[in-house]
Structure 1
């Protein structure tokens, strides 16, 4: 009539588990990897531009640069907001004065390879007139072809 209860030998403590179950960790890491792989292409600039190629190295950036883009139709975008040529000087003047440190922000210019050179130079002239002289031209690197 006695119940089969496990006998308690020793001090009543359980022995520590020597195995670490890494399966849940691997599952979580694989899910995070898939999420980053899916979202990484979406983090690029929103204006589709066919960039020219260059062998220059990428620049290190301290603060978030302002992106100016000219697409194949000649439309001008400042940080994904489309502007006319008449609106561009006011928008650039606002960007030049909005920085709290007093130093003008870095400007990244992305222009389609089929963009009219006159259109490109008029945008560059407006950037210079607004006092935005830290201008970098964005191209495709040799490894991004």
Structure 2
């Protein structure tokens, strides 16, 4: 580091020249970046079950399923859900299994509208159902 001293009469001004120090630090940074090994490209193993558990509709421990078809009609188990939002919330509140378990799963067909799925999810939350999941096909 170079130090510059300027004298003008009584005053002495001392400054440190920072530019060479920054140049050296940036050069060292580039050298270490180039010399360091590449991060490992590790894959995290996951275990996908070979035989998925299939729940029967008569199973008392099965999660209650709400299905939505491509026309937007929803069914709570085997009974149709009302198209009116307030009536849908009321039906979900009056369903003993949904209230006892505190969970439902929503399964939309391939061409079901996203908005209808979200509407049923919102109705379930408003009805006091704590866990609302999305049902999917086997992997």
TM-score, normalisation: structure 2 = 0.50
Structure exhibiting the larger radius of gyration computed from Cα positions: 2
Higher relative contact order (CA 8 A, sep 6+): 1
Q: TM-score, normalised by structure 1?
A: 0.48
More strand by share: 2
